[in-house]
Amino acid sequence: MTPKLDQADKDKIREKIKKKEYEKKTESMGKIRKACFDMCSSKAKKPQIPLKDRTLNQIISLKDLDINIEKGSFTVIIGATGAGKTTLLNSMIGELIHVPDATCKEIGDYTRGIKDGEQRALEDELCNIDLTGKSPITINGTTSFCEQQPWIQNGKLRENVLFGKEFEKRRYVETIMACQLEPDLEIMPAGDDTEIGEKGINLSGGQKARVALARAVYARPDVLFMDDPISALDAHVRKSIFDEVFVGLMKDSTRILVTHAVDFIHLADHVIILKDGKVEAQGAYEDIKKHAYMAEIQEIHIKNKRELEKNDIWEALEEVSLLKRAQSSLPTHKLSTDFGENAKRRMSLAPGKLFLRQVTMKEAPVKEIKEVSDSDTESNKTNPMERLDLLEEELDEKLEEFKGVAGQLDG
């Protein structure tokens, strides 16, 4: 598989080439002569983008793939940065060009540099191949794709979720709740009628991700492709979305997720490990949890958690030191140093005095991270759909709540 050239990138490169050519031709012209040149020159002509020499190994992004995903299963794709996870998803939705074995044999040497003209001829030949009935990828049913960089249209939040589909009360309420958008709607001026700016300018990264996910979930597709839509979310929000969307609301659909959140891989029916554009290993979590790569990423994950907790302790110690210095410099003001259960203290001094910033302390020290056993998981497991199982009256109440601050004031 080899990626198609992105049209936006093509246009940018053409504009740069066109500008350079124009500056070169009009460098010695005066204003009148340049104006005449502009009127006579053809604006429809597109300059050809020069292609660098590339080998067949550089052109082909994915190789030797043999993946079979069962209907209704939850598949998680993991791998290092640049392993080809997003490229694999793009190939599944038909955004890559298939290079047949016969073409590879014709070219022969995989390390030979292919010139500009030969690359263009190869691209034209591959794009015109009729793959009807012999496509290397077969997908049964409707599909939705949630990108890593959320695409948000200029319009109301509800319009972004519905995306032209008919409004269904229960489906809409379940989607908003499962994608953890309720707290956001409560603080928005007009709730789900709030106007979203160009490219979601008035939304945070996490809000954009959840709106884009809600759009894909509302469509209730047969196959749901997700390119790490949870990377910008907090841990507790991520956990809720795993429970209520991936293994809850969409449990009957085929779900394919690219992620770095190794905490929840055990919830998947099928795990695929990619490395250098090839499938390093695949199977059930129990079958591959002892794989060398799994052990490596688990170790990195635990190390990162420990580092974060150590940083929190160091920050807490710095805050204690700051308070002690403040106490010594302000003997007339008695400051609380009792960091108990409610550690958050609001401190304000008289005008003109030293201002101390708000301090938050963690009561518990750093603890060793222990793996959650299967028995613990089973004992704490609850039905993720229980919260979404609402009566008709409750659905109407939720829709009223989704009106946000403006709706509450009107009420």
Summarised one tens digit per residue, pLDDT across range 90-100 is 888 888 888 88
What pLDDT was estimated at residue 404?
59
Which residue did the predictor score with more confidence, 20 or 387? Answer: 20
218 in Cβ contact with 146 (< 8 Å):
no
143-146, strands of its sheet edge to edge: 143-146, 223-227, 254-258, 74-79, 270-275, 278-283
Between 215 and 27, the higher pLDDT residue: 215
Q: Spell 42-51 as b/e; 16+ CB within 10 A means b.
A: eeeeeeebee
**144 or 124, higher pLDDT:** 144
Answer with the residue of higher pLDDT: 138 or 320.
138
Tell me the C-alpha distance between 364 and 236, whole Å. Answer: 19
Residue (of 147, 166, 18) closest to 89 by Cα position: 147
pLDDT at residue 1 tops 60: no
- CA pair distance 383, 391, nearest whole angstrom: 17
The mean pLDDT of 54-83, rounded to a whole number, is 87
Q: Which residue has the tokens 């907090």?
A: 234
Is residue 378 scored above 50 in pLDDT?
no
On average, the pLDDT of the chain sits at: 76
CA 152, CA 215: separation in Å to the nearest integer? 10
Residue 218's pLDDT band, with cuts at 50, 70 and 90, is very high
Asked if residue 247 has pLDDT above 70, the reply is yes
Report the pLDDT value the prediction gives residue 385, as an integer from 0 to 100: 62
At 359, the pLDDT band (50, 70, 90 cuts) reads very low
pTM (2 d.p.): 0.67
Q: Which of 269, 294, 266, 295 is nearest to 281 (CA)?
A: 294
pLDDT-derived band at 362 (thresholds 50, 70, 90) equals: very low
